[in-house]
Structure 1
Amino acid sequence: MKLVLKLLAGILAGLLLGLYAPDWVARLLFTAKTVVGQLIGFTIPLIILFFITSGIASLPKNSGKLLGKTVALAYGSTILAGTFAFTLASRLIPTLTEAATASADPASKLISYISMEIPPLFGVMSALAAAFIFGIGISANEATDLRRIADQGRDIIDRLLARVIIPLLPIYIAGVFVEMTVEGTVFATLKTFGVVLVMAILMHWIWLCVLFVGTGLALGRSPLMLLKNMLPAYFTALGTMSSAATIPVALRASRQNGVSEGIANFTVPLCATIHLCGSTITLVTCATAVMYLSEHLAIPGYGTMLPFIMMLGVIMIAAPGAPGGGVMSALGLLTSMLGFGEASIALMIALYLAQDSFGTACNVTGDGVIALWADRFAQSDSASRSEAA
């Protein structure tokens, strides 16, 4: 939550400096934003490579059919949540907000004091392909040395994010808002921010209601009781902004819903990595808003967004555990599939971080639904084996 407050302070500082500070101060902050942006761009493929490789290589072994069903269910929930979010956001955002327009004075553009490029080692799609090849290969061949390298690479990038990039994000966001203030688009952007944040949180709640009502009716359980038992996990995630830190509470809540201990121990930690319906809702909603705000982008149709959402469901496996990790792992897709530039990426980071805790809470609470279905799958498989015997 301290990061959110720092983010808001960065927005306010950027607004005030853009309005009242001398030109050299605004240029200095814009230069800092440019340097941090280059570092972020360099890090994106490394996040994808190491986190996805490590995640695939560490999936539970010898779980067979149950693992496949659980992963398919979690992925399906994530894709449907993203599609639901785009359907609503693409229709509501243009009616509730106004597009930002530049001041039309090219002389008002800020120029960085430093011209520096840090090109990434490889492209986003190359990193994704390599991650799947090595992750599956490490798992199939039990290549412990390569798995250790992937895990250590993941830890290094995680520390870079936690110790360097994420602490610098408030400065980065301040530089973005200095630029928007100078260009005259900041107030329309801030108005849209409020609408989008409320919309994303409401969609989280709607999706949770859909999950729990549908599951309760299908399994013959009370949806209200199932959701009530998961509320401690929701509020824990809201405060910690971490799915991993909420695992003990989510485990206890799932057991209270009648999930067997073995299935809960298998499903809840796994879903903390692969079931990210709330984060996907946030990312899709924020991306739609940013495309509406940006002059060089436009809200696309389903032909463009559905492939993006499907890839997002895969690449979110690479989401680091630090606050804001979800948007950091998605930046590569935003640039390669939706055409986001540096300014659009900065807006995405600001929007996402402002409600990261709500997205995490939706993820964790939705994990309780996946655990219920995994328990039902396990009971059905056990009954089938008994009949066969």
Structure 2
Amino acid sequence: MKNLSKNILFQIIIAITLGIVFGLFTPEAIGRVFASFNAVFSSFLSFTIPLIILGLVVPAIGKLGKGAGGLLIMTVAIAYGSTLFAGFTTYFASINIFPELLATQTQQLNVVDKISDLAPYFTIEFTPIMDVMSALVLAFIIGIGISKLNNSTLENAFDDFLIIITSVINKVIIPLLPVFIFGIFLNMSYTGQVFSIIQVFVKIIGVIFALHILLLLIQFSIAGIIAKKNPFKLLITMMPAYFTALGTQSSAATIPITLQQTLKNGVSEKIAGFVIPLAANIHLAGSTLKIVACAIALMLLQGQPIEFGAFAGFICMLGIAMVAAPGVPGGAIMAAIGIIAKMLGFNDESQALMISLYIAMDSFGTACNVTGDGAIAVVVDALTKKKSINTEI
């Protein structure tokens, strides 16, 4: 998974670079070939997104729901609360930072109107078997139902379905994604917008990195207050986990280091051994921060209205839909892209830009996620010592 994740990033960087270069001199006839591929791939992606949601979310909710005890409930509540806090904090920061920061690029281009100049030769429509919201609701119903059953045949069926969906992501979508992104940037370069987009990318990445650092400071400040410990010392102790995640781009691969450093922060072995592996799968504050910030920036560029009510629902759904995403390379953005399209109205090109931005910053989001897991463990440990909580799992 580690090597695959790094390979994806490398391929997308190459795809963006080649798309920019070839778009400067590629004849329209050749460009339309890639536009045709993008049209077909986009239709296929729209078809698979509801299936991806079902395949990832149902097994995750089913297995999570089988746990028992106050420790599980408390950990899940804190992790989800942290994810929501990251999403809403990013929303308010982004709507105050990006309008002025991206004002020049907003005036220079309109993504929706201009990057479709290369028309495809043909398209093939794959009609989804259900829409995204129906898939989410169905996933919740089945997942919760499975959690109440023992030795369920349906649970085994969805475990097999998860293997199928993971294979589709790893063997079809991820390998073809660089070609799709190449076509998008070829199109933008052909229409003369690409350099403004690159400037946007650099600005967005800078802001998101700063927000990640601020989020970690807030998380460990809260943990320090609750546990009555020095927050800066707690955060510094977790730095090996942060830098390990930067290198591995994998929450799972970083668990041993995260666990080791959490124990050094004085968390009991029992609490750390339970919270860290669980949080690696359900705590996605860094990933949520990236997606919310990127979505707002791209919506500003396209002149789309940004309403708090719509974003509030989007952030709440995002935290749930990505529950099992860390187990699949690129899974977080794959699980989220359907919600982004349905709830925020993103078109195919905007979705491709979201995917490119997300993967370009994948290591930073992972590092923020796993480092924050250490703060959650400190909080859970402190609360279990203060209150009589059932710690049986």
Q: 1:74 to 1:103 in 2, by over 3 A?
A: closer
Contact 1:30–1:178, Cα closer than 8 Å, also in 2: no
For residues 103 and 181 of structure 1, the distance between their equivalents in structure 2, rounded to whole angstroms, comes to 12
Which residue type is aligned with residue 153 of structure 2? D
Contact 1:320–1:329, Cα closer than 8 Å, also in 2: no
Question: Alignment partner for residue 129 of structure 2, among 121, 125, 146?
Answer: 121
Is 2:108 the partner of 1:88?
no
Contact 1:33–1:175, Cα closer than 8 Å, also in 2: yes
Is 2:274 the partner of 1:269?
no
- Residue 3 (structure 1) shift: 2.0
Question: Alignment partner for residue 211 of structure 2, among 203, 211, 217?
Answer: 203
Superposed counterparts of 1:141-290, under 5 Å = 141-290=149-298
- Residue 363 (structure 1) shift: 0.4
Which residue type is aligned with residue 217 of structure 2? C
Contact 2:251–2:326, Cα closer than 8 Å, also in 1: no
Paired residue for 2:310?
304
Contact 2:86–2:215, Cα closer than 8 Å, also in 1: yes
Which residue type is aligned with residue 335 of structure 2? S
Paired residue for 2:342?
336
Q: 1:306 to 1:384 in 2, by over 3 A?
A: closer
Which residue type is aligned with residue 116 of structure 1? I
Paired residue for 1:358?
364
Which residue type is aligned with residue 247 of structure 1? I
Partner SS state of residue 238, structure 2? helix
Contact 1:279–1:363, Cα closer than 8 Å, also in 2: yes
For residues 118 and 149 of structure 1, the distance between their equivalents in structure 2, rounded to whole angstroms, comes to 24
Q: Given the two structures, how large is their TM-score scaled by the length of structure 2? A: 0.92
For residues 105 and 321 of structure 1, the distance between their equivalents in structure 2, rounded to whole angstroms, comes to 36
- Residue 10 (structure 1) shift: 0.9
Which residue type is aligned with residue 48 of structure 1? I
Which residue type is aligned with residue 379 of structure 1? K
Identity of aligned residues (%): 43
Contact 1:323–1:353, Cα closer than 8 Å, also in 2: no
Superposed counterparts of 1:2-17, under 5 Å = 2-17=7-22
Contact 2:226–2:379, Cα closer than 8 Å, also in 1: no
- Residue 78 (structure 1) shift: 0.6
Superposed counterparts of 1:9-88, under 5 Å = 9-59=14-64, 61-88=66-93
- Residue 346 (structure 1) shift: 0.7
Q: 1:58 to 1:241 in 2, by over 3 A?
A: same
Unpaired segments of 5 or more residues in structure 1? none
- Residue 63 (structure 1) shift: 3.1
**Higher mean C-alpha deviation, range 370-379 or range 270-279:** 370-379
For residues 141 and 71 of structure 2, the distance between their equivalents in structure 1, rounded to whole angstroms, comes to 23
For residues 219 and 382 of structure 1, the distance between their equivalents in structure 2, rounded to whole angstroms, comes to 16
- Residue 2 (structure 1) shift: 2.9
Q: 1:336 to 1:105 in 2, by over 3 A?
A: closer
For residues 108 and 84 of structure 1, the distance between their equivalents in structure 2, rounded to whole angstroms, comes to 34
Which residue type is aligned with residue 332 of structure 2? G
For residues 294 and 14 of structure 2, the distance between their equivalents in structure 1, rounded to whole angstroms, comes to 20
- For each residue in 1:248-277, what CA deviation from the matched residue of structure 2 results, as whole angstroms up to 9, or x when unmatched? 221112111122222122111111111100
Which residue type is aligned with residue 254 of structure 1? T
Contact 1:294–1:344, Cα closer than 8 Å, also in 2: no
Q: 1:62 to 1:348 in 2, by over 3 A?
A: closer
- For each residue in 1:168-213, what CA deviation from the matched residue of structure 2 results, as whole angstroms up to 9, or x when unmatched? 2111111111222233322221111000011111101110011112
Partner SS state of residue 317, structure 1? coil
Contact 1:70–1:374, Cα closer than 8 Å, also in 2: yes
For residues 8 and 296 of structure 2, the distance between their equivalents in structure 1, rounded to whole angstroms, comes to 24
Paired residue for 2:3?
none
- Residue 103 (structure 1) shift: 10
Paired residue for 1:369?
375
Partner SS state of residue 160, structure 1? helix
For residues 45 and 111 of structure 2, the distance between their equivalents in structure 1, rounded to whole angstroms, comes to 28
Contact 1:268–1:367, Cα closer than 8 Å, also in 2: yes
Contact 1:323–1:356, Cα closer than 8 Å, also in 2: no
- Residue 342 (structure 1) shift: 0.6
Paired residue for 1:327?
333
Partner SS state of residue 91, structure 1? helix
Q: 1:254 to 1:107 in 2, by over 3 A?
A: closer
For residues 10 and 189 of structure 1, the distance between their equivalents in structure 2, rounded to whole angstroms, comes to 15
Q: CA RMSD in A?
A: 2.2
For residues 380 and 301 of structure 2, the distance between their equivalents in structure 1, rounded to whole angstroms, comes to 41
Contact 1:215–1:223, Cα closer than 8 Å, also in 2: yes
Partner SS state of residue 166, structure 1? helix
